[in-house]
Structure 1
Amino acid sequence: MNALLLLGGHSDIGGELAARLCSGRPVVLAARRADSLADVAARLRAAGATAVHTLAFEAADLASHRELVERAQELAGGVSTAVLAFGILGDQARAEKDEAHAAEIATIDYTSQVSMLTVLADTMPHGEIVAFSSIAGWRARRANYVYGSTKAGLDAFCQGLADRLHGTPLRLITARPGFVIGSMTQGMKPAPMSVTPAQVADAVAAEIRTGKGSATLWIPRRLRLLAWVMKLVPRPVWRRMPR
């Protein structure tokens, strides 16, 4: 019962993290376009995965979450590491006028995460669950408040879930990276203290291997200082801050 489940098989961060954790164990990749995961699967096999299975995963279909996790456990003989790497950035300008798009962002980036985290916490007897918050949720900005609000809610949920799991064989690792330079943010100007998917994966993998109990990771660590400063910026100044 040592398989790795990656929810969001096309994720840059998820792929990097899976490559660091897959050696000597089976992997289950779950994604909306499960038939296009061949390259990811090949990379993980090359990194030492004993087997790679793929499953179709629609995050917004909440009713399918428990069945998907059960299927992953059946395929791989049990899951001891689950990584929630699915999500969308969305289009802030569109979301301000299109309530369906705003709800789509909220559903995938918050509601679906809450649903899947609840299923995993209920079905995994031990190991670790990895969830991804963001500096964007620390204080929502005018430029991306729809996305930022989902990360704020997810972060709060994760802190409570981590407390619930305290003292059990199952732990939750919540990563709070800064601006991640990857496919999701392609074409956007990097913010201060930006990180790459590889840097995020390195930090999470190190915590999995050496840490104990649930943890919240600022990536990079000095981002914690910037977050403290962000809370002190006056509201009139803050509302003009870029993404």
Structure 2
Amino acid sequence: MKDAFGLPQSLLVLGGTSEIALATARRLVARRARTVWLAGRPSPALEEAAGSLRALGADVRTVAFDALDPESHETALGKVFAEGDIDLVLLAFGVPGDQAHDERDPVRAVRVAQTNYTGAVSAGLVAARALQAQGHGSLVVLSSVAGERPRRADFIYGSSKAGLDAFAHGLGDALHGTGVHVMVVRPGTVRTARTAGRAAAPLDTTPGAVAAAIELGLRRRSETVWVPGLLRPVMSALRHAPRSLYRRLPL
């Protein structure tokens, strides 16, 4: 069960090697979370992530999970919930793709969509049903500001996140009043090992900052969280900009 401050004591991370997810798990472990499940494809990286959290005093277990195999999601998540209640499910898997290459290779483009959207729809529905059955818990979905209005430079990734964002908000409406809380997190560009060496983007952020925003959102039972918060008015303006103007912006 959640503690007196509304923070989880047990969590399941779907995307167990995600830098944002691990920053969030570290933060929650420091706040009394004791049981952590890391779900992902079996790999040295997944075991290394588990070890880093065990070193902080958490009881950490791993479970095999593949976003691209929705038929296995019921079984994989079922193993976790069979061991006891889960206070928080963090849906943190996804791939950025490579826009320039993916435009020329529809199979690669579809893989991005299947991972970021259809895989997330499957896992999100399975997790939501399990949370609803236990009568409490939060589902936190890592969306992206890229889904607010996809850009020419990343419309394949952006469209997949737009679909995920719409799905997660609809799921939150469907679960309203059931005891299950759904929170959508919309970070801007996140500086990670994957983006090392790239020029800084306007209003970019870090895994630690996203983790802090997630913690605050859980305390407040927020439904949508922007990271950084200034992105909310900025994206509101961009979302309503005329298309002819939007095309000319250096985005």
Aligned equivalents of 1:145, 1:223: Cα separation in 2: 19
Q: What is the alpha-carbon root mean square deviation over aligned residues?
A: 1.7
Moved more, 30-39 or 146-155: 30-39
Partner of 1:103: 110
Matched, 1:130 2:137: no
For residue 36 of structure 2, the aligned residue among 14, 19, 27 is 27
For residue 62 of structure 1, the aligned residue among 70, 73, 76 is 70
Alignment of 1:38-187 (within 5 A): 38-49=47-58, 51-74=59-82, 76-124=83-131, 125=134, 126-187=136-197
Moved more, 28-37 or 55-64: 28-37
Aligned equivalents of 1:204, 1:191: Cα separation in 2: 21
Give structure 1 stretches of 5+ with no counterpart: none
Give structure 2 stretches of 5+ with no counterpart: 2-8
Aligned equivalents of 1:151, 1:48: Cα separation in 2: 34
Q: Work out the percentage of aligned pairs sharing the same amino acid.
A: 43
**Distance apart, 1:241 and its partner CA:** 4.2
Aligned equivalents of 1:8, 1:172: Cα separation in 2: 17
**Distance apart, 1:228 and its partner CA:** 1.5
Alignment of 1:207-222 (within 5 A): 207-208=217-218, 210-212=219-221, 215-222=223-230
Q: 1:191 to 1:233 in 2, by over 3 A?
A: farther
Aligned equivalents of 1:46, 1:105: Cα separation in 2: 34
How big is each residue's C-alpha offset from its partner over 1:96-151, in whole Å with a ceiling of 9 and x where there is no partner? 11010010000000111111110011111211111011110110111000000011
**Distance apart, 1:239 and its partner CA:** 2.6
Does the CA-based 8 Å contact 1:178-1:219 persist in structure 2?
yes
Aligned equivalents of 1:36, 1:198: Cα separation in 2: 19
Does the CA-based 8 Å contact 2:191-2:205 persist in structure 1?
yes
TM-score norm. by structure 2 comes to 0.89
Moved more, 180-189 or 119-128: 180-189
TM-score norm. by structure 1 comes to 0.92
Partner of 2:233: 225
Aligned equivalents of 1:192, 1:201: Cα separation in 2: 19
1:25 partner letter: R
1:137 partner letter: G
Partner of 2:19: 12
Aligned equivalents of 2:232, 2:27: Cα separation in 1: 25
